[in-house]
Amino acid sequence: MKVKRNIYFFISFVILIASLMFSASVGAVRIPLKDIIEIIFGSGSETNRMILIQLRFPRIIETAVVGMGLSVTGTFFQGLLRNPMADPYVLGISSGAAFGASIAIVLGVGLFGLQFMAFASALVTIYVVYMLSKKGPNVSMQTMLLAGIAISAFMSSIISLMMLLNHNEMSQIVFWTMGGFNLITWSQVFYTMPIIIIGCIALYTFSRDLNVIMTGEEIAEHLGIDTERVKKIILIVGSLITASSVSAGGIIGFVGLIVPHISRLIIGSDNRALVPFSGILGASFLVLADTLARIAMAPVEIPVGIITAAFGGPFFLYLLIKNKNREVK
């Protein structure tokens, strides 16, 4: 059992490295691996160096980091909410971020302002959802789910209203929500990578707690776990990771939903293995999806959210059918 796991981990690492290398060499501008190595060691064409180092490397790194962050957070939220349909956005983060981004676009504040407002707005939203769901010192995850849905619906209608009143900015807002990494440079990496990586490591340390909580919150309490504290930590850290991811790449759907499921099918439900495995698989998945987004219609950029939705939509249907059959059984 242990040996099989290790093999799967090894394979997943290989896939990740291969994805990164593949992604580095293709794009609207093709730079073969040979040239990449030349550039790393100092020589090579100046234009290609600029493209590789200023644009492509940060983009690949950011994509991998966001893929990892969303997958790890998705794994934790699915466990915490005890709901296999959950993803990092289910508590209102996506509509909160879209709201902040819409305001930024309408005000015309530029890229950094846009990313900051998306980030801040996402966090404020989840705080509101949390406060609405609190009963004394406790918070019910099911209530949070409902509150998240309600707040999301409310914010979506405000965003629609904003789009209606700001006709010129409408398409920009729509495209932002579809998600894309085409503007990533080192500054985004600088701001988001530490938060996401540290966040993922922090969450990982609660894998065992999550295992127990998944079998029942009451049980977890009786086994000595401070479930309220653990829930809060998972929510806060997960939200920070998601808000960072969204500020850099917009709302990229399905990564946080599908990757934990596929990972679970391969490596099992034990979060101590599932969490890192999801992270690695998620990084590869998003790197490859973004590569496709860059090359499918080059030099035109497709929003990467469309690519992930193309894979995610059918998968979601499959999940629904699978669950339906289980109930019938």
Q: Does 253 bind other proteins (CB under 8 A)?
A: no
Q: What dihedral angle (degrees, nearest 10) is formed by the CA atoms of 91, 69, 121, 309?
A: -70
Rounded Cα distance between 272 and 174, Å, is 38
Residue window 180-209: x/- pattern of binding to other proteins, with contact defined by CB under 8 A: x-xx-x-x-----------------x--x-
Instruction: Report which secondary-structure segment, H or E, holds 297.
Output: none
State in angstroms the smallest separation of the CB of 175 from other proteins. 6
Q: Closer CB to other proteins, residue 126 or residue 230?
A: 230
Q: Is the Cβ of residue 196 or residue 212 nearer to other proteins in the bound state? A: 212
Residue 269 binds other proteins, judged by CB under 8 A: yes
The answer to whether residues 279 and 62 touch, using CB atoms and an 8 Å cutoff, is no
Residue 216 contacts other proteins per CB under 8 A: yes
Of 175, 191, 202, 232, the one binding other proteins by CB under 8 A: 175
What is the enclosing helix (H) or strand (E) of 39? helix 33-40
Q: How many CA atoms lie within 13 A of 48 on its CB side?
A: 20
* Per CB under 8 A, 236 contacts other proteins: no
Residue 95 and residue 125: Cα distance in Å, rounded? 8
Residue 137 Cβ vs other proteins, minimum distance, rounded to whole Å: 12
For CA atoms 259, 25, 294, 114, give the dihedral sign. positive
CA atoms in the 13 A half-sphere facing the CB of 83:
14
Contact call for residue 286 and other proteins (CB under 8 A): no
Query: Which residue's structure tokens are 């966040």?
Result: 199
Query: Of the listed pieces 120-128, 136-144, 155-163, 308-316, which binds other proteins according to CB under 8 A?
Result: 308-316
Give the tokens for residue 64.
């991998």
Amino acid at 289: A
| Window 65-94: residues binding other proteins (CB under 8 A) | 79, 82, 84
Site residues (vs other proteins, CB under 8 A)? 1, 27-29, 47-48, 50-51, 54-56, 79, 82, 84, 105, 108-111, 114, 167-168, 172, 175-176, 180, 182-183, 185, 187, 205, 208, 211-212, 214-216, 218-219, 221-226, 262, 264-266, 268-270, 294, 296, 298-301, 303, 306-307, 310-311, 313-315, 318
